[in-house]
Amino acid sequence: MRESSRVVVIGAGPAGLTLANLLQLAGVGCVVLERQSRSYVEQRQRAGVLDYASRRIFEEWGVAETLLTGVPEDRALEIRVDGEPHVLDIRALSGGRTGRAIPQQMLIARLMAAFLKGGGDLRFGADQVTLHDLAAPDSTPVVTYRDAEGTAREITCDYVAGCDGHHGVTRTAVPPREMTTYTYDHGIGWFTVLADVPPPRLPLFAISTHGFAAQFPRGPGACRLYLECAPDDVPADWTDERIWRQARLRLGDESLPAGPIVDKSVVEMRSFVVDPMRYGRLFLVGDAAHIITPMGGKGMNLAIADADVLARALRAAVLDGDEEPLAAYSATCLRRVWNQQEFSRWLTELMHESGDATLAGTFRRQLARARLDRLFTSAPAGQAFADLLAGG
Ligand code: RFL
């Protein structure tokens, strides 16, 4: 089966579905190929905060109402130090540049519904996706795959968007000599659970000598807990009893209610960036090009920001014949990516070293505590933090 499309988007996560919607709004034709089923994609729970920069992207494209109606503002957060609460008023510190607290799967479901309502072509169960002729000077790319019925298909296109996450296939189509890869292991582990218990009033970071913990709302009746752990821990090391005992101890809240745990995993506390995020007519978007630790909540937001830059560049290339924005795509995105990697690493150090002295010693713990104190007492320090949370 042979067909053609301007753009083939590989992957229907936040990157792929944002890009697909923006291309549809721009009048640029695309086909989205997703390996998994629709229900799998709609139920995958991960991030929970859309930052201000992402909200602005959806506002600028005129889809904020469709995607964000009824979604609460992410207006403040609590940092609890040895059981003592400190509330940062992010709305005031950022001058009103707040994000929205939206579970990733809710955003995915809304993006998918909007794309399909607009007549979008989204194909689930696409297996064995393979890219050909990405950088050939005298031919255009071809994407081959097997559809959900097992039929071999072939799509000729002008551009391919690799939105297939960190373990996808598109990045592997790039010859290693064409890309520089940067990786960093943060040397800590994070054990995370999703639990059906009432969420905290505010997103909560907790610092104590027992180790770092965080608790974030994920909708009205659920929360995500993160617990610092040994880098080689596996989920089986964490019984439900141990999870709730450690959560209560670290959050300094003996009355924290336990409840059903619906998912347990160990998060890779590793960062990864490729440069450039382009090879010929293939453009890597989101986790396919970079991963960041969940500290700071930037993974999904970087994916949305990349998609915005690429959608604008493809619109210029396809509708106006102007390939300059495409030439600038990688550098434009990487500037933001490195800024957010720095923020995430800074926050990781701050939150972990101020509690657990076995990580970097007691001197570094005192430095981290001084930095924390500055956040609570210095308006410019609080504003700089809120500015980074806002993204951009
Ligand atoms: P995704 O979400 O991984 O989507 C990629 C899509 O591509 C599909 N795919 C393929 N399709 C076709 N052919 C192939 N060969 C394919 N291979 C893969 C996949 O099925 C999938 O549908 O990447 P994308 O779109 O770049 O989005 C990235 C974000 O999902 C990611 O950065 C965040 O979820 C990271 N993250 C968090 N980000 C935040 O901003 N805030 C958070 O609080 C936050 N918490 C988290 C997280 C990620 C987590 N995990 C499990 C990695 C918490 C966790 C536990």
Structure tokens at 60: 């600028």
Q: What is the DSSP letter of 172?
A: G
- Residue 258 is classified by DSSP as P
Instruction: State mean pLDDT over 77-101.
Output: 96
Q: Give the pLDDT confidence score for residue 219 in this predicted structure.
A: 81
pLDDT of 241-300, one tens digit each? 999 999 999 999 999 999 999 999 999 899 999 999 999 999 999 999 999 999 999 999
Condensed to tens digits (0 to 9), the pLDDT of residues 140-150 reads 999 999 999 99
Residue 139 has a pLDDT of: 84
β-pair type (49-50, 180-185):
unpaired
* Ligand 1 neighbour 306 (Cβ under 6 A): no
Both structure tokens of 386: 């809120």
Sequence-separated (6 or more) residues with CB below 8 Å from residue 174: 134, 274, 279, 282
- Does 164 have pLDDT greater than 90? yes
Q: Is the Cβ atom of 353 under 6 angstroms away from ligand 1?
A: no
What's the mean pLDDT in 295-309?
97
- Going from the Cα of 288 to the center of ligand 1, the distance in angstroms, rounded, reads 9
Report the distance separating Cα 128 and Cα 120, nearest Å.
22
Distance 311 CA to ligand 1 centre (A): 19
Nearest atom (ligand 1) to Cα of 267: 55
pLDDT band at residue 373 under the 50/70/90 scheme: very high
- In the numeric block, which tokens belong to residue 94? 């950022």
Give pLDDT, residue 138.
83
Which distant-in-sequence residues (6+ apart) come within 8 Å of 92 by Cβ? none
Q: What is the pLDDT of residue 159?
A: 98
Helices of type H across 145-270: 240-251
CA 212 to chain centre: 21
236 pLDDT band, cuts 50/70/90, is very high
Q: Among residues 360, 352, 189, which one has the least CA distance to residue 270?
A: 189
**Strand 99-101 with 77-81, pairing:** unpaired
Distance 104 CA to ligand 1 centre (A): 9
Question: What SS3 string covers 192-219?
Answer: EEEECCCCCCCCEEEECCCCCEEEEECC
What is the pLDDT at residue 115? 98
Contact 163, 288 (CB under 8 A): yes
Nearest to residue 387, comparing CAs of 78, 64, 53? 53
Predicted local distance difference test score (pLDDT) of residue 312: 98
99 lines ligand 1 (CB under 6 A): no
* CB 47 less than 6 A from any atom of ligand 1: yes
Supply 248's token pair: 């209560």
Contact by Cβ (8 Å): 249, 210: yes
Q: Is the CB of 104 under 6 A from ligand 1?
A: yes
Mean pLDDT throughout 69-92? Answer: 96
Spatial contact of 249 and 208, defined as CB atoms under 8 Å apart: yes
Q: Where are the domains of the chain?
A: 2-75+99-182+270-343
* Tokens 């506002």 belong to residue: 59
The CA-based angle 197-200-202, given to 5 degrees, is 155
Give the confidence band of 330 by pLDDT, cuts at 50, 70, 90. Answer: very high
Looking from the CA of residue 299, the nearest atom of ligand 1 is 32
| Residue 382 contacts residue 77 (beta carbons within 8 Å) | no
Give the model confidence (pLDDT) of 339-356 as tens digits.
999 999 999 999 999 998
Instruction: For residue 226, give the DSSP letter.
Output: E
Neighbouring residues of 77: CB distance < 8 A, sequence distance ≥ 6: 87, 88, 90, 202, 203, 204, 205
- Model pLDDT, residue 268: 83
Pocket test for ligand 1, best of 40, 55, 104, 153 (most atoms within 8 A of CB): 104
Q: What is the pLDDT of residue 218?
A: 85
* Ligand 1 centroid, distance to 355 Cα (angstroms): 29
Atom of ligand 1 nearest to the CA of 301: 40
User: Using one digit for the tens of pLDDT, what is the confidence trace for 33-53?
Assistant: 999 999 999 999 888 999 999
2-75+99-182+270-343: which CATH topology?
FAD/NAD(P)-binding domain (3.50.50)
pTM for the whole structure = 0.96
Question: How far away, in angstroms, is 13 Cα from ligand 1 center?
Answer: 6
Exposed (0-12), middle (13-18) or buried (19+): which is 321, by Cβ within 10 Å?
exposed
Closest by Cα among 243, 244, 248 to 229 = 243
pLDDT band at 1 (very low <50, low <70, confident <90, very high): confident
Q: Average of pLDDT values for 11-21?
A: 98
Cα–Cα distance measured from residue 252 to residue 52, given in angstroms and rounded to the nearest whole number: 30
How does strand 30-33 pair with strand 121-123?
A: parallel
Rounded to an integer, the average pLDDT of 298-313 is 98
Residue 5 Cα distances to 71, 159, 244, 378, angstroms? 34, 9, 51, 54
Print burial letters for 265-296: b (CB count within 10 Å at least 16), e (below 16). ebbbbebbbbbbbbbbbbbbbbbbbbbbbbbb
Q: What is the pLDDT of residue 105?
A: 94
Whole-number Å distance, alpha carbon 2 to ligand 1 midpoint, is 30
| Shortest-distance atom of ligand 1 to CA 170 | 15
pLDDT at 307: 99
* Residue nearest atom 43 of ligand 1, based on CA coordinates: 47
pLDDT at res. 392: 77
CA separation for the pair 346, 385 (Å, rounded):
10
| Cβ(78)–Cβ(70) below 8 Å | no
Contact 230, 187 (CB under 8 A): no
Q: From ligand 1's centre to the CA of 381, what distance in Å?
A: 31
